[in-house]
Structure 1
Amino acid sequence: MINSSSDNVKKLNSINRRMFITGSLKFFIMIGIVSRLFFLQIKENKKYLTLSDKNRIREWKLAPVRGEFHDYFGNVIAGNFEAYQLHVIPEQVEDFRYVIYRLKDLLELSDKEFKKVLKKKNEIKPWETLIVSDNLSWQKFSKINNHLYDLNGVKPVISISRNYPFKENFTHLIGYVSQANKDDIETSQAIKKNFVPGLKVGKVGLEKTFEEKLIGTNDIERYEVNAYGRRISQLEFQKGEKGKTLRLTIDTEVQKLANELLKDKAGSICVMDIYTGAVIAMHSSPSFDPNLFVFGISQDDWQLIRNDPMKPLVNKTLQGNYSPGSTIKPIVALSALENGIVNTNFTVQCTGKTEMYGQTYHCWKKKGHGYMSLRNAMKQSCDTYFYEVARKLGVDKLSETAKKFGLGEKVFGDLFDIEKKGLIPNTEWKKNALGKGWLLGETIITGIGQGYIQTTPIQLCLMTAQIANGGYKIYPHIVVDDKVKDQPMDKFTPLYRNSKNIKIVQDAIFGSTNEVMGTSYRSRIDNPKYQFAGKTGTAQVKKITEEERELDLKTFEIPYEQRDHALYVAFGPYKNPRYALSVIVEHGGNGSTTAAPMATKLFKLIIDRHKIRESLRNKKYLEI
C-alpha cells in the first residue's frame, strides 16, 4: 500500500513538472508571439506598410521635357513633339510569347521589325524595359490601349521627342539627339539622374555641349495596381521641370541662304558681327537631316551618309583645316606695315615668276603684273609681291600677327570638342614638330597662304571681322546672353601698333572688289548700302607640275579631287562695316568665280535684315 501510494505521488509530481514545463514553454512562446506581433505592427509598421505599398503602388518616371533652341528672332530651330511609345518589362509578363505575338499582330510589325524586337529582348535583363516601338502612330497607340486588358506587362507611354523643323540647315551647329547609351549615363550625372528607357540625349554639337542645361527633370506618375500589376487608378502626378531654352545669335534666313548657296558642294559659310562677335550664320556642307537619328537611323540611311565622298559628317567650319591661299595676304601686308618692313610706296616687279636658290616661284598670272605697289598687289592678288614681302618679313613676325588676329587658335574655346586649332607655323614649331630647320622657301610660300599653314573657315571669318572693325579684339559667340551688352570701341583691346596700317589694308581690300582689275570686281555691288570689300583666295591641294602649268587646264577639265579650293573673305557695308564673312568651296577652282559671287547674295540679305536685328537687340536692352 505504501509503495503504491509513493508511486502515485511520484507520478503526480512528474505530471506536475511536465505541465509546468509545458505551461512555461507555452507562456514564453506566447510572449514571443505577442512581442513579435508588437514589433511587426508597431515598431516595423512603416517598413511593411512601404513594402505593401510597393506591391500596390507603382511609380513611373517619364522622360524629361528637353529645352528648345531658338534663333535670334525666336523661331524654334530645335523643338519637341509628343511621341507614342510602347514598353514591355519581360519579368512582369506571364506569357511573353503570347504577348509579343499579340503585339506583332496589333502593330502590324514586319518580320524584320519583329526579329529586331526579339533581338533587343535577348540583349537586356528580364527586369529592364523593352521598347517595342518608340514612335507609334496615334491610331496604333489607341489600338494598344483598347487591348490592354489582354496585354499583361505592356505599358503605353506618351514621351517627348526631338524635332528639327529646318532639317539639314542647322545640323552641324546644333547637332542631334539619339537614345542614351551606357557611356552617356556613366559620363553625365544629369543623364544618370534623369534616365528612363528611351531617353534621348545630345550626341554632337550644341545639343551635347549644353546637355545638363537642356535635359530638364522627370515627371513622376504614381499608380495603384491590382495583383496582376494592371493600373487601377492614378494616385499622384509630380511635374518635372522643362530644360532651359537657349536663344542663339543665328539668323535662320541667312543660314538657309548659306545652305542653298552650297547645295551640291562641299564647303562652309560663316557670317559674324564685327563688333559684338555674334555669329549670324555658320553652315557646313553637305549636311544631313538630324531627324533621322532621333529614333535610331536605319542602316541604309547611315551607309548613304557615311560613304558620301563629300563627308557630310565632318563639320568643315570647325574641323576643316585648309590652306588659306591669298586670303592670308591682308595679314601679310599688315604684319609688314606694323613691323616697318614695307610702306605704301614699296614696289616689286612681277614678271610672272621669281627665281631663288634654284627654285622657281610662280605668280598666278603667267606674264606677270609689272611693277606692283602694296595696294595694287592686294587688288590683283600678285603672288610675286607677297613672295618678296614675306621674304623680308620672316615667318616668325608673320606668325605673331596672324595669331593676334585669331589664326591658329580655337575660336570658341571649349564650346565644341571637335573644333581644330589649325596651324600657324614658325621656326620654333618646325624644329619641335619635325626636328628640322626652317627654310627660306617655306617663308616665301607661307606669304601666299600655302605650305604648312592651315586655318579653319571660322578663323578666317574672325580674322576678317577684326580687320574690318579697325583692328580690335572680339570674342565670337553663338548663344545670346542678354546681360552682356556691346562694348564701346574704346574699351576693346587693339591688335595693332598703328591704326593707319589697318586703314591701308582695308582700302587695299576695297580695291580688290570694287575697282577694275580687282580679282572679285565682277562680284561687286555699286549701291553703297550693300557695297562690300573682300579678298579672294585659291588654295592648291596638290603641287602643279610644269606640264600641267603649260596645259593651263580649265577647272572642269581637272579631276574633282585635284581641283583647287576656292575661298573668299569679305566685310560690309564698306563705309560703315558691320558684318564679316568667309566662304570656302572645296575643289571649287577659283575664289573669284566660285566663292566671291556667293558673298554678293549674302550681303544683300544680311544688310536688309540688319535693321530688324538691331530693333530687336535694342528692345531687349530696354527690357533689361
Structure 2
Amino acid sequence: MLGENFGVKKNQTINRRMFIIGAAKFIVFTGIIARLFSLQITDNKRYLTLSDKNRLREWRLPPIRGEFLDYFGNIIAGNLKIYQLHVIPEEVEDFKYLMVRLKEILNLSNGEFEKIIRQKNKQKSWETIIISKNLTWEQFTKVNYFLHDLIGAKPVLSVSRNYPFNESYTHVLGYVSEASEKDILNNEIIKSKHVPGLKVGKTGLEKTFENELIGTNGIQRYEVNAYGKRISQLDHAEGLSGKTIQLTIDTEIQKLCNELLKNIAGSISIMDIYTGEIVAMQSSPSFDPNLFLFGINQDDWQLIINNPLKPLVNKTLSGLYSPGSTFKPIVALSALENGIIDENFKVNCKGKIEMYGQTYHCWKKRGHGVVNLKSAMKQSCDTYFYEIARKLGVDRLKETSLKFGLGEKVLDETFSNEKKGLIPDTQWKKNNLGKGWVIGETLITGIGQGYTQTTPLQLCQMTAQLANGGFKIYPKIIMEENPKTVEDIKLIMDKNAKYLDEKNNGLQEASELLGFLNKKKYGRLFKNSKNIELVQKAMFASTNEVRGTSYSSRIEDPKYQFAGKTGTSQVRRITKAARELDLNTSEIPYNERDHALYIAFGPYKNPRYALSIVVEHGGSGSSTAAPIAKKLFKLIVDRHEFREQTRIEKAIKI
C-alpha cells in the first residue's frame, strides 16, 4: 500500500511540474510572438524610421559666401576654388610612412607635422584629417604626381574667400576667418549654419552684413555602418549662395588712393556731393586680408601689430584729428550766417594777438597785414579767424558745425568702428571737465585746434555739403536698389531753396522756415545762399590765386580745376624755444610733427565730388596733402563719364 501511494504521489508531482513548465513555455512563447507582432506590425513605422536614422546620416557643407561688387560690377570680394589635401587614417596602410612622405613633398614644418599627429590621435580612424587647407598649384601637381605612393591621401577641390585687390579694400570690406566660439554664441544664424571650418566676417562690411552674406548649407547624405563610418553617398543638395552686395566705390580710384598713401599713415575719402555715394575710402597703411583666410602665421601677425603706423586702425572712420585750418570754412560760414561779419570785414594781422596775458600766434611770424574774408581764407590767416571766433562764440559755431555733419557718425551703424568725434561748447566742458569755458579756448577752436576732434569722412561730408550749395546729403557706401538720380536730387534742393523767396517776401518767419526745411529730405543748411557762395569763392582763391596756401597744387585746365583748403593740425604745444628755432619738418621727430590735411571739391565750375585727405605727421597740408588731391582729381573727373554711363544703364534695367 505504501509503495502504491508513493508512486501515485510521485506521478502527481511530475505531472504538476510538467504542467508548470509547459505553462511557462506557453507564456514565454506567447510573449515572444506578441512582441514580434508588435515590432513588425504595430510599431513597424516607428522602428523603420529609427533604423534609417541609424543607417543614414547627413553632413552639412560650408555655405558659399555672397560676393561684394564695386560700382561697375567688378568682384572685389569673391570665392576662389582652392586645393586641399585630405587623409582618412583607416584607409592608410602605413600612416607614419605617408606622413613622412607628405612632409617631404609639402615641406611641412615640425610644428605642422606634430599638429597633424595630435589631431589623428584625438579623432576616430575614419574621420578626415585636413593636411593642407590651401595647396599651391605646384604642391597640388606634385601630390598628384606621387599619388601612387601616397595611399590614403586625397587631393580635394574646395571653395574659399578671395580678395583680388589685396590691401586696397581691407578697411572697407574687412576680412573673414574661422568662426570663433564668441561668433557662434553671439549670432544665432552663424550658430544654425555652423560647420567645422566655417569662415565668418571679423571686421568691416564682411562683419556688418554677415547674416546676408553667409548663404545656406549644402547637404550630403550617406549610408553608414553601426560605427558611423560612411559606406556610400546617397544624395547631394547644393546650398544657396549668400546675397551679392554692390558698393558705390570705384576700384580704379580706390587703387590710386592706396598707391598715393603707400608707406604713409593717413586717409583719403571721396564723395559725390549730391548722391552721397562714397567713391573711395582708403585708410593707410593697410594689410592683405587674404593672410587671415587660413590662419595668419606668427611672423605676418607680428609685422602687422608691431607696425608703428597702425595698419589695423581704420583711420577714415576711427581716426580722430583736430581739423586745423580745414575747419575755417565752417567758422567763416557760421560768422556770416549769424551776422557777425560780412565779406568786407577786415582784420589787421601782425603775426599774433595778446589777450589776458596770453599770446596767440598766426602761422606767419610777420603777419598778413590787413585781410578780409577772401584773403584770410586764401592765406589761412589765423589772426583773422581768432577774431571772428571771438565775436561768434563757440556755442553758435557748434550749431553750424553739427548741421554740416561734424561731431556725428556719417554712415550711421554701417561700420561698428566709426567714431562720432567731438565739437565742443560751453556746456560740454562744464559737464565733462567740471570747468567753465574761457575765451582763449574759443580762439583756438576758431582755427580747428583745442578740443575739436573730427574724422576724415566727416570732413569730406562737410566739404560736399558746402560744394552742393549748402544742402544736406545722405552718404552711403552700399548701392540702393532704386536710387534717386542726381537730377531728382537737384530738383528737390531747388524746391527747398525757393522757400528763401517766401522768407524774403515776409511770408514766413526765418526761424520757422529754417526749422521746417531742416526736417525735409535734402534740407537747406543755410539762411542765405550768398554766404555759401562767399565761402566757395574763398576756397577757390586758396587753391587758384597767387599766395593761396595750395596754389602750387592748382590745375589750370577748367575741366579739372578744384577749390580747397589746407590744414595743419598740431599734435603738441609749440614752446617759445621751438618757435624761435623754426625747424623744418624733417628736423622734428616723427611723432611730434603736425598732421597735414586738405579738403577740396571740383570741378569748380560744375562741382560734383568732394574729398578729404589726412596725412599723419605729414607736416604741412600745402606741401604734403594738397599735391595728392591734384593727382586724384584728374582721375576722378576722367572716371566721371564712365560712372554716369553706368548709372544710366542701371536706370534703364530698372
If the TM-score is normalised by the length of the shorter chain, which range does it land in? Answer: over 0.9
1:134 shift after superposition = 1.3
Q: Cα–Cα, structure 1 residues 129 and 447, in superposed 2: closer, same or farther, change >3 Å? A: farther
State the SS of the aligned residue for 1:355: strand
Does the CA-based 8 Å contact 1:327-1:569 persist in structure 2? yes
Q: 1:118 to 1:420 in 2, by over 3 A?
A: farther
Q: Unaligned stretches of 5+ in structure 2?
A: 496-520
- Maintained 8 Å contact 1:107/1:140: no
Equivalent position amino acid for 1:514 in 2: N
Whichever residue aligns with residue 287 of structure 1, its letter is S
Aligned partner letter, 1:446: T
1:60 is matched with: 59
Separation in 1, partners of 2:475, 2:606:
20
Identify if the C-alpha distance between structure 1 residues 142 and 107 changes in structure 2 by more than 3 Å, giving closer, same or farther: farther
1:506 aligns to 2:508 (yes or no): no
Q: Which moved more, 1:229-238 or 1:435-444?
A: 229-238
Partner of 1:317, secondary structure, is coil
Q: CA deviation at 1:157?
A: 5.1
* Residue 141 of structure 2 is aligned to residue 139 of structure 1: yes
Please name the residue that 1:526 is paired with: 556
**Structure 2 residue 382 is matched with structure 1 residue 383:** yes
Residue 552, structure 1, aligned to residue 598, structure 2: no
- AA aligned to 1:106 is L
**More displaced stretch, 381-390 vs 97-106:** 97-106
Q: Which position in structure 1 is the counterpart of 2:406?
A: 407
Aligned equivalent of 1:105: 101
**Which amino acid is 2:98 matched to?**
R
Cα deviations across residues 296-331 of structure 1 (Å, max 9, x unaligned)? 111001001110011111110011000100000000
Q: Distance in 2 between matches of 1:435 and 1:220?
A: 62
Range with greater deviation from structure 2 (256-265 or 122-131): 122-131
| Paired position in structure 2 for 1:17 | 16
Q: Which amino acid aligns with 1:277?
A: G
Is the alpha carbon distance of 1:99 and 1:520 closer, same or farther for their aligned partners in structure 2, counting shifts above 3 Å? same
One-letter identity of the residue aligned with 1:105: R
Give 3-state SS (helix, strand or coil) of 1:495's partner: coil
Report if aligned partners of 1:106, 1:140 keep a CA contact under 8 Å in 2: no
Match 2:650 to one of 617, 620, 624:
620
* Number of the residue aligned with 1:222: 221
Aligned-partner Cα distance in 1 for 2:475–2:128:
44
After superposition, give the CA deviation of every residue in 1:150-184 in whole Å (9 maximum; x if it has no partner): 54xx8865432111111010001101111111111
1:163 maps to 162
Cα distance in 1 between the residues matched to 2:283 and 2:254: 10
Q: Distance between the aligned counterparts of 2:35 and 2:145, measured in 1?
A: 51
Q: Residue 582 in 1 paired to residue 612 in 2?
A: yes
SS state of the match for residue 448, structure 1? coil
Gap change, CA 1:123 and 1:371, over 3 Å in 2: farther
CA distance in 2 between counterparts of 1:21 and 1:44 reads: 32
The yes-or-no answer on 1:495 pairing with 2:552 is no
The verdict on how the C-alpha distance between 1:439 and 1:229 changes in structure 2, with shifts beyond 3 A counting, is same
Which residue number corresponds to residue 563 of structure 1? 593
Task: Evaluate the alpha carbon distance shift between residue 386 and residue 72 of structure 1 in structure 2; reply closer, same or farther with a 3 A threshold.
Answer: same
- Partner residue in 1 for 2:510: none
Distance in 2 between residues matched to 1:508 and 1:591, nearest whole Å: 17
CA contact (8 A) 2:103 2:113 kept: no
Structure 2 CA distance for aligned equivalents of residues 338 and 585 of structure 1: 31
Cα distance change on mapping 1:230 and 1:10 into 2, 3 Å:
closer
d(CA) in 2 for partners of 1:107 and 1:50?
Answer: 46
Match of 1:30 in 2: 29
Residue 176 of structure 1: aligned partner: 175
The answer on 1:308 being equivalent to 2:307 is yes
Assess if the C-alpha contact under 8 Å between 1:64 and 1:160 holds in 2: no
**Aligned mates of 2:37, 2:294 — CA distance in 1:** 55
Secondary structure of the residue aligned to 1:8 is helix
* Alpha-carbon distance between aligned partners in 1 of 2:651 and 2:247, rounded to the nearest angstrom: 16
| Larger deviation, residues 134-143 vs 348-357 | 134-143
Aligned to 2:257: 258
Aligned partners of 1:322, 1:248: CA distance in 2, in Å? 27
Deviation of residue 142 (structure 1)? Answer: 4.6
2:402 maps to a residue whose letter is: K
| Distance in 2, Cα, partners of 1:125 & 1:438 | 71
Q: Contact (CA 8 Å) 1:325, 1:538: kept in 2 or not?
A: yes
Aligned residues: 617
Distance change in 2, residues 1:107/1:79 (3 Å): farther
Indicate if the aligned counterparts of 1:69 and 1:248 stay in contact, CA closer than 8 A: yes
Asked if the contact 1:131–1:198 (Cα under 8 Å) also holds between the matched residues in 2, the reply is: no
How many angstroms apart in 1 are the aligned matches of 2:444 and 2:122? 58
From 606, 614, 618, the equivalent of 2:636 is 606
Output the CA distance in 1 between the equivalents of 2:407 and 2:292: 33
Q: Secondary structure at the match of 1:494?
A: coil
Asked whether the equivalents of residues 90 and 126 of structure 2 are also in contact (C-alpha less than 8 Å), the reply is: no
What do residues 569-613 of structure 1 show as CA deviations (whole Å, max 9, x unaligned)?
Answer: 000111111100000101111001110011111111011111110
State how far apart, in whole Å, the 2-side matches of 1:59 and 1:104 are: 34
**How far did 1:434 drift?**
0.8
Distance in 2, matches of 1:47 and 1:271, equals: 65
Note if 1:351 corresponds to 2:350.
yes
Contact kept, 8 Å, 1:62 with 1:159, in 2: the verdict is: no
More deviation, 463-472/45-54: 45-54
State the match for 2:514 in structure 1: none
Per-residue CA distance 1:12-39 (angstroms, 9 max, x = gap) = 3322222222122111111221222233
* Unmatched segments (≥5 aa) in structure 1: none
Q: Distance in 2 between matches of 1:97 and 1:314?
A: 51
For residues 36-82 of structure 1, the C-alpha deviation after alignment (integer angstroms, 9 at most, x for no partner) is: 22333334444544554455444322211111111101111111112
Amino acid at match of 2:82: A
User: d(CA) in 2 for partners of 1:38 and 1:106?
Assistant: 57
Distance 1:94 1:7, change over 3 A: farther
Tell me the secondary structure at the aligned position of residue 170 of structure 1.
helix
Query: Helix, strand or coil: the match of 1:222?
Result: strand
Which residue, out of 540, 546, 557, partners 1:516? 546
Q: Which moved more, 1:136-145 or 1:22-31?
A: 136-145
* Structure 2 Cα separation of the partners of residues 370 and 506 of structure 1: 23
2:197 pairs with 1:198: yes
1:195-344 alignment, distance < 5 Å: 195-225=194-224, 231-344=230-343
Q: Is the 8 A contact 2:90 2:125 kept in 1?
A: no
* CA distance in structure 1 between the partners assigned to 2:330 and 2:124 by the alignment: 61
2:81, 2:157 within 8 Å by CA — same for their partners in 1? yes
Aligned to 1:425: 424
Q: Which amino acid aligns with 1:558?
A: I
Look up the match of 2:517: none
Give the alignment's Cα RMSD to 1 decimal. 2.4
Distance in 1 of aligned mates of 2:54 and 2:243: 36
Percent identity of paired positions between Structure 1 and Structure 2 = 66
- Report which stretch shifted further, 5-14 or 42-51: 42-51
- Kindly provide the amino acid, as one letter, of the partner of residue 540 in structure 1: Q
On the 8 A contact 1:58/1:222 being kept in 2, the answer is yes
Find the aligned partners of 1:609 and 1:356 in 2 and give their Cα distance. Answer: 51
Deviation at 1:147, TM superposition (A): 7.5
CA distance in 2, matches of 1:461, 1:54: 60
> Which whole-Å CA distance do the structure 2 matches of 1:32 and 1:60 have between them?
41
Match of 2:188 in 1: 189
d(CA) in 1 for partners of 2:47 and 2:476? 56
* AA of the residue aligned to 1:529: K
Q: Which whole-Å CA distance do the structure 2 matches of 1:136 and 1:41 have between them?
A: 53
